[in-house]
Structure 1
């Protein structure tokens, strides 16, 4: 417990906070407050409820804030009259009254101490007009910032929705085209089968053709990885072969046979087994429709898989079906954000991911972390003007999980590097940005997750680094 000392109004009068007060008010301060000597150590801790207002009479104080598992010093003073603690209580219920910093005495220090409720009552009674002006300014700024933050989130959501619709439109259109083509292929296949059945081919030949069909369909996935140049060369070869034998529609069959991996030698084998030219053309027509049908079904499968991937990414990004705070795999969040931002990133940016998948899950507000990744990635793409390399890397930094988002843009000028996390600060043209993207990211990472957000920038290499605690506060011993 701190040592109680006499309160002298003559000393209080020397403080800049109280120098204009009359004797009656100074008497009130001494009656309702006290002077105490604190030993070196914590006077209050971050996240405690603000119960007292403190004014330094002599000694030295340090104010620090927790980032991750560490307390980072943000101010050190021996200035008589410096104050801390419950100074915002006079705003009433309009603000949060938990403390956002830790106050520590570095040596024996005397402080004037006034209970929060007494301090609030005195300020409201003694300074009603300045209080109303200050309250309006303070709360007005908070409301403005909240409104603009909400608008920025809505604008970002609208942009992401537009990009998602664009990404969904491509596989949906492909699936619709393939579905329409299947009807035509099935009709052609029925006609080809009827023709082959009446062509008089023996059972051994028909069995061989059925085996060939299965072989071609099985090897289709392997053939799909062939280079475009190899497929084009094979197509030219097959076109010449079919034209030399007078096969009607050979120009139409050649691309399909090339995709299936057929070559001239295989067609020679089919020709020997079918006998006359008419039977050969019927068999080739049947094979063409069979392969075409399989390729169309593969296209539908690829398209629906892409749609499913996009929908899953959207669910993971919004976290609509999850609890707000839970253990999350950061890589799932980064993957879903990159998918959602595909349209925003564009074709001119090469995305490189370097993920340490062995990292454990971390306790976090997943949807809000996705907002951080969105803001940092979007800023990186904007900095590169849509052309360059975006690198997203994860790793472990002692007791923290590290996420690094790097771009090859021009870098951040040294003169503004210290201001980029300030609310409303932006280097973008008027109307192109609110200046809250990095401020929102900072508050989510630092204030809400007790992590750190830093930047290291030079021309061609700008890196924003997020460090998140690997465990909740109770496991880190700082809560």
Structure 2
């Protein structure tokens, strides 16, 4: 790299220095120097001591930051006068703030350099109030972003936990109720079996009764669904049969037999097998067996539901999975909808328009789940508890497109250019931090080399995420 000086008059052509006094511009000219960097040169490297303040004179620079081990491009510019390097020189404890980004020369470039330590001393002497204000703004903004970011994550975790707890509670409560009822039915079966034994039923007859029981129990899982009117007619028919055969409290058995698909001809078969003497006890035993089978089916359904919910939670959190992998985007979308089902509520209809031919994409699945969470959460909030949430996937050229649509009030035109800015929110004070879409933008655009865009009008807002189908080179 080559070094040279710059005259005060030329310094005044840079917007940073145009308002300085003759004394100040003289100091800048005396202590600064011009350095040139060939194309491809590293100008400064992130994390190294911030020793110099750089002002671009010519050429094009590229600025990057390391994000979880990957270098992500933040900015590139050829505008004369843009600055980089020790941009936090005004801080009192400047040695605690190294270069915050790496800068590369995309073309042959020239920079005007100032020593950061000496510049900081002069700056505080020339502009003491501005120095204090800048330091306060920087530290306040940094602390606010840390606190609000942490709050955002805690709120998201709380909402997801509450939704998952709500979803788990229903099948868990159903399993508890069914288990309690099952205990009563098993006790009843033991009692009826004892009654049959006391009547000294023949072993061969008991075997036939067990065969009939097994045949009828197998029908429970495949019993046809009935309308309320059909079920009532079947119950009346079976009640009449039970009354005709002097079975006590037949009205109590009919509602057990009908859902299991038992007909009057089936009861005729039972009667023909055991005879009138054992009919009452045999039918009671059969009723308990059918109820037991039904209850075990309910327990199986409830525990299966719990297992699926836990699987969705595990998929959402990407537990035990590599951070970067080839993924099916539908898995993450489905698990996010499950995790947010409690917040989505009964008033919002969820429509899935999935193109199942969409190929897998290389991605950080856990981070994309955070994007889906932010977009779905915003969509639900925009609809205020009532509307249609549409989740659509498709292939668009060489990218996968994931679209989250809602029927809410829409994003006003004046806000569409600002919604991805950090801390910008249209929600009431205290309801939103303004970081959700900023985080989503950085995950999609910077982390995955994709695109995030919005189309909106009242009643039809669509956020579209586009992800490349192939591995992208590191920035």
Give the TM-score, by structure 2 length.
0.82
Residue in 1 that maps onto 2:350: 351
2:122 aligned with 1:122, yes or no? no
2:69 is matched with none
Once the two structures are superposed, residues 282-333 of structure 1 have per-residue CA deviations (whole angstroms, 9 ceiling, x without a partner) of 2211110001111122222222222222233333333455555555543333
Check the 8 A contact 1:182/1:296 in 2, yes or no.
Answer: yes
- 8 Å CA contact 1:175–1:303 kept in 2: the answer is yes
Shift of 1:98: 4.9
Q: Output the CA distance in 2 between the equivalents of 1:389 and 1:102.
A: 47
1:476 equivalent to 2:475? Answer no
What is the correspondence of 1:77-476 to structure 2 with a 5 Å cutoff?
Answer: 77=79, 82-86=81-85, 88-90=87-89, 92=94, 97-99=99-101, 111-114=110-113, 118-119=115-116, 121-127=118-124, 129=128, 130-199=130-199, 205-223=205-223, 230-276=230-276, 278-322=277-321, 324=323, 328-355=327-354, 356=356, 359-364=359-364, 366=366, 368-470=367-469, 475-476=471-472
**Residues 100 and 396 from structure 1, CA distance in 2 versus in 1: closer, same or farther, beyond 3 angstroms?**
farther
How many Å apart are 1:267 and its aligned residue?
A: 1.9
Contact 1:408–1:461 at 8 Å: present in 2 too? yes
> Is the partner of 2:262 in helix, strand or coil?
coil
Give the Cα separation in 2 of the matches to 1:439 and 1:189: 63
Q: 1:339 to 1:403 in 2, by over 3 A?
A: same
Cα distance in 2, alignment partners of residues 332 and 166 from structure 1: 21
CA spacing shift, 1:315–1:446, aligned 2, 3 Å: same
**In structure 2, C-alpha distance between the alignment counterparts of 1:427 and 1:393, rounded to whole Å:** 25
1:363 touches 1:470 (CA, 8 Å); kept in 2? no
Alpha-carbon separation, structure 1, partners of 2:392 and 2:229: 35
The farther-off stretch of 308-317 and 289-298 is 308-317
CA distance in 2, matches of 1:374, 1:232: 46
Q: Residue 391 of structure 2 contacts residue 402 of structure 2 at CA under 8 Å; is this kept in 1? A: yes
Q: Is contact 2:389-2:407 (8 Å) kept?
A: yes
Q: Post-superposition shift, 1:230?
A: 4.8
Matched residue SS, 1:435: coil
8 Å CA contact retained: 1:94, 1:139: no
Whole-angstrom distance in 1 between the partners of 2:195 and 2:98:
83
SS of residue matched to 1:260: coil
Structure 1 residues 54-69: aligned runs within 5 Å: 54-55=54-55, 57=57
d(CA) in 1 for partners of 2:168 and 2:212?
37
- Conserved 8 A contact 1:333-1:370: yes
Assess, with a 3 A threshold, how the Cα gap between structure 1 residues 305 and 5 changes in structure 2: closer, same or farther: same
- List alignment gaps of at least 5 residues for structure 2: 66-71
- Say if 1:149 and 1:440, in contact at 8 Å, map to a contact too: no
Cα distance in structure 2, aligned partners of 1:454 and 1:49? 33
Q: Does the C-alpha gap of structure 1 residues 203 and 240 become closer, same or farther in structure 2, counting only changes over 3 Å?
A: same
Quick one: distance in 2 between partners of 1:73 and 1:126? 26
- SS of 2:429's partner is coil
1:153 Cα offset (Å): 1.7
Distance change in 2, residues 1:32/1:54 (3 Å): closer
Measure how far apart 1:365 and its partner are. Answer: 5.7
Distance 2:345 2:353 in 1: 20
- Taking the aligned partners of 1:75 and 1:225, their CA distance within structure 2 comes to 68
Deviates most, 47-56 or 439-448: 47-56
Pairing of 1:45-56 with structure 2 (within 5 A): 54-55=54-55
Separation in 2, partners of 1:361, 1:229? 51
Shift of 1:393: 2.6
Partners of 1:33 and 1:467 in 2: how far apart? 45
Q: What corresponds to 1:7 in structure 2?
A: 6
**Per the alignment, in what secondary structure is the counterpart of residue 417 of structure 2?**
helix
Counterparts of 1:203 and 1:45, CA distance in 2: 95
SS at match of 2:359: coil
Aligned equivalents of 2:41 and 2:412: distance in 1? 40
Query: Is contact 2:5-2:33 (8 Å) kept?
Result: no
C-alpha separation between the residues in 1 aligned to 2:253 and 2:291? Answer: 9
User: CA 1:303–1:208 in 2, change beyond 3 Å: closer, same or farther?
Assistant: same
Secondary structure of 1:359's counterpart equals: coil
Equivalent residue pairs, number = 461
RMSD of aligned alpha carbons: 3.8
Structure 1 49/156 Cα, relative in aligned 2: closer, same or farther at 3 Å?
A: closer
| Whole-Å separation in 1 of the counterparts to 2:27 and 2:88 | 22
3-state SS in 2 of match to 1:259:
coil
**Which range moved further: 47-56 or 215-224?**
47-56
1:142 Cα deviation from its structure 2 partner: 1.8
Worse overlay, 140-149 or 461-470: 461-470
Offset of residue 75 of structure 1: 6.8
Q: Which moved more, 1:263-272 or 1:19-28?
A: 19-28
The separation in 1 between residues aligned to 2:158 and 2:42, in whole angstroms, is: 44
Q: Structure 1: how far apart are the matches of 2:361 and 2:436?
A: 25
Shift of 1:100: 7.8
